[in-house]
Amino acid sequence: MKNSAYGLEMPAKRTSCVVFSSPHSGRDYPSALMKRTVLNRNVIRSSEDAFVDQLFDAAAEFGAPFLKAAMPRAYLDLNRSAEELDPALIQGARRQGHNPRVASGLGVIPRVVANGRAIYRGKLTMDEARLRIDNYWRPYHARLKSLLAESHEEFGQAILVDCHSMPHEAVAISGNARGNKPDIVLGDRFGASASGVIVDQIEAAFASAGLNVARNAPFAGAYVTQTYGRPGRQQHAIQIEIDRSLYMDEETIEPNANFEEFREILRDVVAEIACIGAQPVRLAAE
């Protein structure tokens, strides 16, 4: 299923409470955006989670829905609040305290792409910003909420796995005491957005595939995990960041020679994660 705001792969039968999502892999760049931007097509894609929708496309085979953005992050960031409007970009937007994301140009309508490169020469109108939010942000989040509600109703819990990719340079300077750099970073907002038991199981799925896993550094999760992670209500949200160098050329934004092999590795990981949510939670009698 696809509309202008998102694509949705639904399983033939829902057998898992897990919902996979990819809010930053959209690549339907509107012609109006490309006419207004000062960037070329390659540079404007630098903040895109390129090919993440393909890496996790086996989700429906294992009984879990997969929700994917249609519009690119440079046009609208689904991992931001609809109220995170940047006064430096949007005419009439009011500054609402200090928000480091907005201040750096990464509000719901981004002002910059990777490495702080400006997308536009001038400002956008408030009407244009609201139109993007109403046409794309609200439908995506409405569908995400409904998918989680369906999981909760059928299985007694919902697990949101929010899929992203990170530049290799983001992890090149990090690592553990042994010097191992993470291939995968799991973000649960330091335990606030998901049960530790579930995060442990997701980490084990990646580790069993031979991948180095870290938690919450350098990415702990943003709007999606903060908003949908409610472990006290049996709703868990975990952000997954994958080192892009494992499967793509970051300069050309093309799959590299390891792409298909890595995609198969993730297929097994997706299958394991889907199994985490395959059994209904036994709720205590009221």
User: Does residue 275 sit in helix, strand or coil?
Assistant: helix
Question: Buried b vs exposed e over 214-230: b needs ≥16 C-beta within 10 Å?
Answer: bbbeebbbbbbbbbbbe
**Tens of pLDDT, residues 186-198:** 999 999 999 999 9
pLDDT average, residue stretch 44-53: 95
pLDDT average, residue stretch 122-141: 96
**Tens of pLDDT, residues 85-106:** 999 999 988 887 778 899 999 9
pLDDT tier, 280 (very low <50, low <70, confident <90, very high otherwise): low
β-strands 66-69, 158-166 pairing = unpaired
Total Cβ atoms within 10 A of residue 92: 11
Is pLDDT above 50 for 282? no
pLDDT of residue 286: 33
pLDDT of residue 216: 93
Higher pLDDT, 99 or 228: 228
pLDDT average, residue stretch 264-270: 97
Total Cβ atoms within 10 A of residue 108: 23
**Domains of the chain, first to last:** 6-75+138-276 (3.40.630.40)
Alpha helices in the chain (DSSP H): 31-36, 41-44, 52-55, 100-103, 126-132, 138-155, 168-172, 196-207, 223-228, 259-276
The Cα–Cα gap between 96 and 109 comes to 15
pLDDT tier, 285 (very low <50, low <70, confident <90, very high otherwise): very low
217: left (phi over 0), alpha (psi -120 to 50) or beta: beta
